[in-house]
């Protein structure tokens, strides 16, 4: 996301900034401050940490930003994830949630695929094996 720079200037009608923690929108009319308390999450946020565009809040929104090659997105190797277990192999996987993943090589060929159609969703899962199977005998 495009961040507020230390040299930022507000528009006459105000400039929208977005909290990096909760995505709360706020209008400011000047940047003569070093930090503000976000009304949404009550966190104190440094001026240069605020976003100038809303951050994607789910996988589908992020996918739409990526398809447009939106300049407000961070580098593709530091995109947000939205829950779910991290895939075993993340090569070609840009982001994920508990139900799907964004895969591809560039904005022209990315797609959202369901996690159950890939073998990536096996990462870090805990399997409970009955003691009888481990010992090879009935208890």
Q: Give the model's pLDDT for residue 115.
A: 83
Q: Give the model's pLDDT for residue 118.
A: 54
- The pLDDT tens digits for 24-56 are 989 999 999 999 999 999 999 999 999 887 778
Tell me what percent of the residues of the chain surpass a pLDDT of 70. Answer: 81
For residue 113, the cross-strand partners are 101
pLDDT > 80? residue 138: no
Q: Give the model's pLDDT for residue 103.
A: 92
Whole-model pTM above 0.85?
Answer: no
Three-state SS string over 87-126 comes to CCCCCCEEEEECCEEEECCCCCCCEEEEHHHCCHHHCCCC
State the average pLDDT over residues 76-100: 87
CA–CA distance, 44 with 22 (Å, rounded to integer): 12
CA–CA distance, 35 with 31 (Å, rounded to integer): 10
With left for phi above 0 and alpha for psi between -120 and 50, is residue 122 left, alpha or beta? Answer: alpha
């Amino acid at each position: 996301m495009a961040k507020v720079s230390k040299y930022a200037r507000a528009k006459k009608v105000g400039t929208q900034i977005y909290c990096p923690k909760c995505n709360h929108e706020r209008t400011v009319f000047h940047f003569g401050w070093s930090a503000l308390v976000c009304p949404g999450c009550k966190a104190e946020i440094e001026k240069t940490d605020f976003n100038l565009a809303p951050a994607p809040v789910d996988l589908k929104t992020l996918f739409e930003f990526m398809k447009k090659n939106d300049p407000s997105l961070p580098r593709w190797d530091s995109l947000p994830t939205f829950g779910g277990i991290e895939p075993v192999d993340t090569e070609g996987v840009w982001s994920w949630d508990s139900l799907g993943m964004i895969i591809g090589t560039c904005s022209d060929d990315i797609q959202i695929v369901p996690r159950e159609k890939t073998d990536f969703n096996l990462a870090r899962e805990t399997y409970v094996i009955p003691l009888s199977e481990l010992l090879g005998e009935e208890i």
